Homo-oligomer: A and B are copies of this chain.
Amino acid sequence: MSDYQLRPVGRVESPLTDPATAPKQGDEGAPDAWLVFAPDVAPAVRDLRPGTDALVLTWFDRARRDVLAVHPRGDTSRPETGVFATRSPHRPNPIGLHRVRVLAVDGLRIRVGDLEAIDGTPVLDVKPVLGGPDER
């Protein structure tokens, strides 16, 4: 494995299947979904708890990596903007960042709320939302 090779640790299971009609952000009507982890990362998953908030990192495997500027939200009335100032999925490293609520935990299957990633999207990482210094 090269230094810069990602290794998916799981997949999204979601009723969303079409990137063109999926909500652009989780709070824009996205459904609940499952994160389904690979058995070999079970020790990393085991302390996720219902009721907590987490940041899920995904890989937009259908995104274009050669796009450096876009019309935000696909709205051609808005000026082209460098992708580092937008949340476009199209970018040199198409890593998705999603803040979700953990709803339920069933072994390697984690139910999360309001996730706009489509079915089959590779999951790269989960991180807790950073609390204040006394909660770290």
Contact A85 B9 (CB under 8 A): no
Chain B neighbourhood of A126, CB < 8 A: 84-85
**Size range of the chain A interface in the assembly:** 35 or more
Closest residue to A28 on the B side, CB-wise? B133
Contact B4 A7 (CB under 8 A): yes
Report if A4-B3 is in contact (Cβ < 8 Å); known contacts: A47-B84, A68-B44, A128-B85.
no
Q: List 6 A-B contacts (CB under 8 A).
A: A1-B65, A5-B5, A46-B82, A57-B95, A84-B125, A86-B127
Whether A43 sits at the interface, judged by CB under 8 Å, is: yes
Chain B neighbourhood of A73, CB < 8 A: 136
